[in-house]
Each structure stands twice: as C-alpha cells, then as structure tokens.
C-alpha cells in the first residue's frame, strides 16, 4: 500500500471512529422524554427563541448588545420560513433552535456574501433552503436537540420540494457538518459583514441523494444505522402533526416584532417592505420608500 492509500485509509478510519464516538449516546436521541421539537407559532415562543439566539450570538461576539435583548430577521417572518426549536417538556425551557428559509423572490440570507455560488445552484434548477439563526444552550441536551431540529426541518424541506440545504458556518464547525450531517463545502472562507466580519464558509447538503447517502455512510456500525433511521427514515407522530399545520408568524405578531415592540420595518430593504406590506396589508413607511 503506497503512502497516499495509507493516508486515505487512516483518514477514513479516524472519520469513522469520530462518527461512532459522537453517536455513542444515540439511545438518548430517540428518547422523547428528554425534549420535544416544534415550529414556533405563538408570540411567547418567538420571544424565547429570539432571546436564545441573542444570548448565544452576543457571547460569541457576532452582534452588538441591544436594549431588547433579542435577535431576529425579516427572513424569519416569510410565509414558508419555519422557526424550529427543541424544548424540555417538563419546564418548557428552550434548548436549541434553527430557522429554515426557503428560497423566494427575496432570496436567502447568505446571498449577501455567496450570491455567485448560490446563483450557480439556482441556474441548475435547484430549489434551495437555508438553515440560519442556529443557536443552542450548552447543556446535556444540546446535541440531541440540534439533531432533532434538523430531522424536522429536513422533512419540512422535502415536503416543500427543496433539493438542497445551504448553511454559512464558522470554519471550526466544518468537521461536525461534513462528517456527521454530511454537508460539503461549496464556498471559500469570507468575512460576514452582518456579524462583525466573522469568517464563514458556505456548505451544501444535496437532499435528492440524502437518503441513500446517509445509509451508505452510516450502515457501517449499529449506532450509525439507528441515526440514519432516526434522521431520514422514521416518522414520529409529533413530526406528522407539526408538518400538517400551516403556521408561521401571524400578521399581529409581525406587527408586534417589527413595528410596535421594535420599529425596524422602516429599515427593511425596499423589496422586503413591498412584500410584507402586500402580505399583511400595511402601508409602506415613506421614510424608506
């Protein structure tokens, strides 16, 4: 065996061992007593999610402090977006969250830095969805909550005909997304202007081959098979109920978050103002027209 083959074999073994180690507590993943996962639909749920994102982003140095102690974006209010969160069923404490934004006339959050790469996928007829505003508390349920969030938004994306997930992440998280969730890098490191020029990379997961690919990778060991079943195969009743509901931010909650509680609607780009004015029958602010 030549040095190249040995190196490839060693790398494959290390990757396999890392996957097995990370998934060593896989039984906890399917224990629904530890947490529940759902899409936000009530004002209190949105407030708690936006508070968690603010806390984590502030501690990570992505954003400046603000008096509201919340972080959210207009993308999260779009009709097809879903703000997903995992919570402790005993005390309702939110453990982790992520938002799925489906591509539309308003684009995706990462268009601001990776438009060329994203447009390349669009030109091939791909229907994209971006995972954004991901945050989690650092406790024993952190990992399982994130996995469960991904499995629910994976099912929602498939329901909507999405062909690809994209996500902008810090380079230090690459190994987790690539070795565990099987994303692949498609964009070089760039500074994200919205987050104090934090360096990010663009990653992609092809959902059209996701089912087969997960089993190809994870059938090598028992924990992996359980994880693949959990992630892409088994449907839980809770998931079916969540996916059957038409829900996102109501007009009243949109008005609360973007006009009453925090007047940030006037700072929206014109295309966002026009879209939401038509959707919620609002009058566009003259200052931002």
Fold that domain 27-251+260-271 belongs to in CATH: Aminopeptidase (3.40.630)
The structural domains of the chain, with segments of one domain joined by +, span: 27-251+260-271
What is the Cα–Cα distance from 262 to 68, expressed in whole angstroms? Answer: 8
Tell me the sheet residues that pair with 191. 199
CA nearest neighbour of 149 among 99, 219, 114, 104:
99
Question: How far apart are the C-alpha atoms of 257 and 275, rounded to whole Å?
Answer: 16
pTM over cut 0.75: yes
pLDDT tens by residue, 202-239:
999 999 998 888 888 888 777 788 888 888 887 888 88
Alpha-carbon distance of 152 to 85, in angstroms, equals 10
Give per-residue pLDDT as tens, 109-159.
999 999 999 999 999 999 999 999 999 987 545 667 888 899 999 999 999
Residue 126 carries which DSSP code? P
């Amino acid at each position: 065996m030549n040095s190249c083959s040995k190196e490839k074999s060693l790398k494959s073994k290390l990757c396999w061992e890392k996957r097995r180690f990370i998934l060593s507590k896989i039984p906890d993943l399917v224990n629904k007593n530890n947490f529940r996962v759902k899409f936000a639909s009530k004002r209190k749920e949105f407030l708690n999610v936006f508070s968690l994102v603010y806390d984590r982003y502030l501690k990570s140095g992505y954003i400046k402090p603000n008096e509201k102690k919340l972080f959210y974006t207009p993308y999260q209010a779009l009709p097809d977006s879903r703000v997903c969160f995992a919570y402790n069923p005993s005390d309702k404490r939110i453990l982790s969250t992520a938002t799925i934004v489906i591509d539309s006339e308003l684009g995706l959050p990462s268009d601001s830095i990776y438009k060329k790469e994203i447009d390349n996928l669009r030109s091939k007829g791909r229907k994209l969805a971006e995972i954004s505003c991901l945050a989690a508390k650092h406790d024993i349920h952190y990992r399982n909550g994130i996995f469960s969030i991904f499995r629910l938004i994976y099912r929602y994306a498939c329901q909507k005909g999405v062909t690809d997930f994209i996500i902008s992440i810090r380079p230090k998280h690459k190994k987790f997304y690539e070795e565990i969730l099987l994303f692949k890098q498609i964009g070089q490191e760039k500074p994200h202007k919205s987050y104090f020029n934090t360096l990010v990379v663009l990653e992609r997961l092809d959902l059209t081959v996701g089912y087969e690919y997960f089993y190809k990778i994870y059938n090598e060991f028992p924990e992996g098979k359980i994880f693949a079943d959990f992630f892409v195969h088994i449907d839980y009743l809770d998931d079916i109920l969540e996916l059957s509901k038409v829900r996102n931010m109501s007009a009243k909650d949109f008005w609360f978050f973007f006009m009453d509680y925090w007047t940030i609607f006037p700072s929206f780009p014109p295309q966002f103002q026009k879209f939401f004015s038509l959707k919620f029958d609002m009058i566009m602010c003259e200052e931002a027209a």
